[in-house]
């Protein structure tokens, strides 16, 4: 995908604040600090289009971006953050759930996992939940550069086993080396018909 333009559109907490549903959309989800902002920034070839989670403010909101004026990318707030106050956490699940259930133009959810960590019940539940609602999942193992090529393969096999998915469903990625960038774009293009 040749990215000619990428812009921030708006932040939202509820459907009335979402941009009009006109473009095919792909959302990105993952634990805080997993490398979600880095992945989106790498995809659109911009250093700081998406603010990293160390930047306070926009991270607890659903952020909408447009690429090449024909694709919508959505940055969902990171989950599993122990430091998030209970009052915030209570609104956060329903906010994401409302989006994932109701957004008509949503074509797939990219779930970003750290290649070094065997996913737990939270990830498994999230994947099951997506399939219950008929949402396609694109699974990406990021920070692949942290492991040798042989360790990457071994870890991919272990993660596939833990998630009960085929190994080929897991794309290895690194924001640092850009490994896997064409593969992630292909997966997105496949679901958005671009």
Binding site for ligand GDP (CB under 6 A): 30, 32-38, 52-53, 78, 142-143, 145-146, 174-176
Nearest in space to 119 (alpha carbons), one of 137, 132, 95: 137
Nearer to ligand GDP, 9 or 145 (CB): 145
Phi first, then psi: give them for residue 71, nearest 5 degrees. -145, 140
Phi first, then psi: give them for residue 133, nearest 5 degrees. -95, 10
Nearer to ligand GDP, 112 or 137 (CB): 112
Whether residue 175 contacts residue 35, with contact meaning beta carbons closer than 8 Å, is answered with yes
**Three-state DSSP class for 131?**
helix
Strand pairing class (136-142; 106-114) = parallel
- Closest contact distance (angstroms) between CB of 166 and ligand GDP is 23
Nearer to ligand GDP, 29 or 108 (CB): 29
- Closest contact distance (angstroms) between CB of 104 and ligand GDP is 26
- Closest contact distance (angstroms) between CB of 1 and ligand GDP is 19
Nearer to ligand GDP, 157 or 178 (CB): 178
């Amino acid at each position: 995908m040749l990215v000619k333009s990428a812009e921030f559109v708006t932040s939202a907490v509820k459907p009335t604040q979402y941009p009009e549903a006109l473009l095919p959309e792909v959302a990105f989800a993952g634990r805080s600090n997993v490398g979600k902002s880095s992945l989106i920034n790498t995809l659109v070839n911009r250093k700081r289009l998406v603010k990293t989670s160390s930047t306070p403010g926009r991270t607890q909101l659903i952020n909408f971006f447009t690429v090449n004026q024909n694709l919508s990318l959505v940055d969902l707030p990171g989950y599993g953050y122990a430091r998030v106050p209970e009052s915030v956490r209570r609104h956060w699940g329903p906010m994401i759930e409302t989006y994932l259930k109701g957004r008509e133009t949503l074509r797939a959810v990219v779930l970003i996992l750290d290649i070094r960590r065997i996913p737990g019940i939270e990830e498994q539940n999230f994947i099951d939940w997506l399939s219950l609602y008929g949402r396609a999942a694109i699974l990406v193992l990021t920070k692949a550069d942290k492991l040798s090529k042989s360790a990457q393969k071994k870890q991919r096999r272990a993660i596939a086993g833990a998630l009960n998915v085929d190994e080929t469903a897991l794309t290895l990625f690194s924001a640092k080396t850009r490994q896997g960038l064409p593969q992630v774009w292909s997966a997105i293009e496949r679901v958005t018909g671009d």
